[in-house]
Amino acid sequence: MSAVEEMVVEENDAYIEHTFVGEMLKQLKALDTYDTYEGWSTAKIIDPLILTKERKREIPVVGDPDEIVMARVKAYYNALATSIEQQTGKMAVPMINLTHEGFGRALIMVGKLIVVDKTLRDVHRFGFPSLEKMCEKSDQIISSATKLMEQFPEVVEA
């Protein structure tokens, strides 16, 4: 069995209960129109987002992302926007532009303020080294976005 096929997220991982993981789970399930995730554990659903060194090694350096990977990217930014909205009470809107080659940009806007601006490259290799790193990075982005909103309330309200 290759490293890509083996699960790396443990069922008892402390970060499974993290608020952001719960939001990611909602977003991923919302995209699951065929009920593929029916009966799956949280760990099994979240697991493909975790790219250990071994998993990353098995993905070519150059490649086009498939629809599943692109959906995961969209789910991630939707989860960030929803989390920002939950913390601030202001509607956060994600906008993602991706080429078929896996390059593009992700923005999250609140009012007329861009609170998240991320250039996307090599989307076919989208993921995080661990569940902990995903949660830390997400918390950092959400915190930064809310601070920007506090700094420029007139643009948020515009």
Handedness of CA 114, 116, 121, 124 (dihedral sign): negative
Say what the pLDDT of residue 158 is: 81
Domain 14-157, CATH: 1.10.3100.20
Dihedral (Cα; 112, 149, 135, 105), 10-degree rounding: 30
Residues of the chain falling short of pLDDT 70: 1-5
Say what the pLDDT of residue 1 is: 40
pLDDT tens sequence across 116-132:
999 999 999 999 999 99
pTM: 0.93
Say what the pLDDT of residue 6 is: 86
Q: Could you give the angle at the alpha carbon of 24 between the alpha carbons of 132 and 89, nearest 5°?
A: 105
Say what the pLDDT of residue 85 is: 98
Say what the pLDDT of residue 5 is: 67
| Beta strands per DSSP E along 10-158 | 92-98, 104-110, 113-120
pLDDT tens sequence across 17-46:
999 999 999 999 999 999 999 999 999 999
The domains of the chain are located at 14-157
| Beta strands per DSSP E along 3-151 | 92-98, 104-110, 113-120
Say what the pLDDT of residue 3 is: 47
